[in-house]
Amino acid sequence: MLVVTNTIKVKEGHGEAIAQRFGGNNGVQDMPGFVRMEVWQGSAKDGVEELKICTMWENEEAFKGWTSSESFRQSHRGAGGNEAILGASIDKYKLMISRTPGTSN
Protein backbone atom coordinates (compact mmCIF):
# COMPACT_ATOMS: atom_id res chain seq x y z
CA MET A 1 0.00 0.00 0.00
CA LEU A 2 1.23 3.48 -0.90
CA VAL A 3 -0.03 6.75 0.57
CA VAL A 4 0.67 9.95 -1.34
CA THR A 5 0.14 13.28 0.40
CA ASN A 6 -0.20 16.54 -1.48
CA THR A 7 0.21 19.34 1.06
CA ILE A 8 -1.28 22.55 -0.31
CA LYS A 9 -0.79 25.90 1.44
CA VAL A 10 -3.57 28.40 0.73
CA LYS A 11 -4.49 31.89 1.84
CA GLU A 12 -6.65 31.89 4.96
CA GLY A 13 -10.34 31.69 4.11
CA HIS A 14 -9.85 29.73 0.87
CA GLY A 15 -9.22 26.23 2.24
CA GLU A 16 -12.80 25.01 2.27
CA ALA A 17 -13.52 26.10 -1.31
CA ILE A 18 -10.34 24.49 -2.63
CA ALA A 19 -10.99 21.31 -0.63
CA GLN A 20 -14.44 20.98 -2.23
CA ARG A 21 -12.83 20.65 -5.68
CA PHE A 22 -11.52 17.24 -4.67
CA GLY A 23 -15.05 15.97 -4.02
CA GLY A 24 -16.06 16.11 -7.67
CA ASN A 25 -15.76 13.42 -10.30
CA ASN A 26 -12.15 13.95 -11.35
CA GLY A 27 -11.42 10.44 -12.58
CA VAL A 28 -9.13 9.30 -9.77
CA GLN A 29 -11.88 7.09 -8.33
CA ASP A 30 -11.93 5.08 -11.56
CA MET A 31 -8.18 4.42 -11.77
CA PRO A 32 -6.90 0.85 -11.39
CA GLY A 33 -5.21 0.42 -8.01
CA PHE A 34 -6.88 3.47 -6.40
CA VAL A 35 -8.00 2.67 -2.84
CA ARG A 36 -9.31 5.96 -1.42
CA MET A 37 -8.79 9.68 -1.04
CA GLU A 38 -9.12 11.87 2.05
CA VAL A 39 -8.90 15.66 2.24
CA TRP A 40 -7.77 17.11 5.57
CA GLN A 41 -7.87 20.80 6.55
CA GLY A 42 -5.53 22.16 9.20
CA SER A 43 -5.93 25.19 11.39
CA ALA A 44 -4.94 28.56 9.96
CA LYS A 45 -1.61 30.00 11.11
CA ASP A 46 -0.28 33.42 10.17
CA GLY A 47 -2.86 33.83 7.40
CA VAL A 48 -2.17 30.43 5.82
CA GLU A 49 -4.30 27.28 5.80
CA GLU A 50 -2.95 23.85 4.97
CA LEU A 51 -4.81 21.13 3.11
CA LYS A 52 -3.53 17.55 2.97
CA ILE A 53 -4.84 15.51 0.08
CA CYS A 54 -4.11 11.88 0.93
CA THR A 55 -4.54 9.26 -1.75
CA MET A 56 -4.06 5.57 -1.07
CA TRP A 57 -2.90 3.23 -3.83
CA GLU A 58 -2.33 -0.50 -4.08
CA ASN A 59 1.23 0.21 -5.25
CA GLU A 60 3.57 2.75 -6.86
CA GLU A 61 2.66 1.61 -10.38
CA ALA A 62 -1.02 2.45 -9.76
CA PHE A 63 -0.09 5.96 -8.62
CA LYS A 64 2.15 6.45 -11.66
CA GLY A 65 -0.74 5.31 -13.85
CA TRP A 66 -2.85 8.12 -12.36
CA THR A 67 -0.21 10.82 -12.79
CA SER A 68 0.34 9.87 -16.44
CA SER A 69 -3.39 9.69 -17.28
CA GLU A 70 -5.50 12.14 -19.24
CA SER A 71 -7.86 12.35 -16.21
CA PHE A 72 -4.95 13.63 -14.10
CA ARG A 73 -4.07 16.28 -16.67
CA GLN A 74 -7.71 17.40 -16.93
CA SER A 75 -8.24 17.55 -13.16
CA HIS A 76 -5.10 19.68 -12.65
CA ARG A 77 -5.69 22.07 -15.55
CA GLY A 78 -5.56 25.68 -14.34
CA ALA A 79 -4.54 24.81 -10.76
CA GLY A 80 -1.31 26.78 -11.09
CA GLY A 81 -3.20 29.98 -11.86
CA ASN A 82 -5.15 30.05 -8.58
CA GLU A 83 -3.86 33.03 -6.58
CA ALA A 84 -5.16 31.55 -3.31
CA ILE A 85 -2.68 28.65 -3.59
CA LEU A 86 0.66 29.61 -2.06
CA GLY A 87 2.54 26.36 -2.66
CA ALA A 88 2.37 22.59 -2.60
CA SER A 89 4.55 19.57 -1.91
CA ILE A 90 4.17 15.84 -2.59
CA ASP A 91 5.33 13.07 -0.27
CA LYS A 92 5.02 9.28 -0.56
CA TYR A 93 4.79 6.74 2.24
CA LYS A 94 4.82 2.94 2.21
CA LEU A 95 2.42 1.35 4.72
CA MET A 96 4.42 -0.56 7.32
CA ILE A 97 1.84 -1.27 10.06
CA SER A 98 -1.93 -0.85 10.19
CA ARG A 99 -4.05 -1.25 13.32
CA THR A 100 -7.81 -1.30 13.64
CA PRO A 101 -10.01 -1.53 16.74
CA GLY A 102 -9.90 -4.95 18.31
CA THR A 103 -6.68 -6.16 16.65
CA SER A 104 -3.81 -7.51 18.70
CA ASN A 105 -0.09 -7.75 17.97
What is the residue extent of each domain of the chain? 2-94
Instruction: Note the CATH number of domain 2-94.
Output: 3.30.70.100
pLDDT tens-digit series, residues 78-91: 665 678 999 999 99
What is the reported pLDDT for 51? 97
Going by pLDDT thresholds of 50, 70 and 90, the confidence category of residue 77 is confident
What is the reported pLDDT for 81? 64
pTM score: 0.84
Report, as an integer, the average pLDDT of 59-82.
85
The residues near 87 (Cβ < 8 Å, ≥ 6 apart) are 8, 9
Phi/psi at 50 (5° precision): -125, 130
What is the reported pLDDT for 79? 61
- SS3 label, residue 29: helix
Strand 34-41 and strand 2-11: pairing?
A: unpaired
Report, as an integer, the average pLDDT of 67-86.
82
pLDDT tens-digit series, residues 7-47: 999 999 999 999 998 888 888 999 999 999 999 999 999 99
Strand 85-94 and strand 48-57: pairing?
A: unpaired
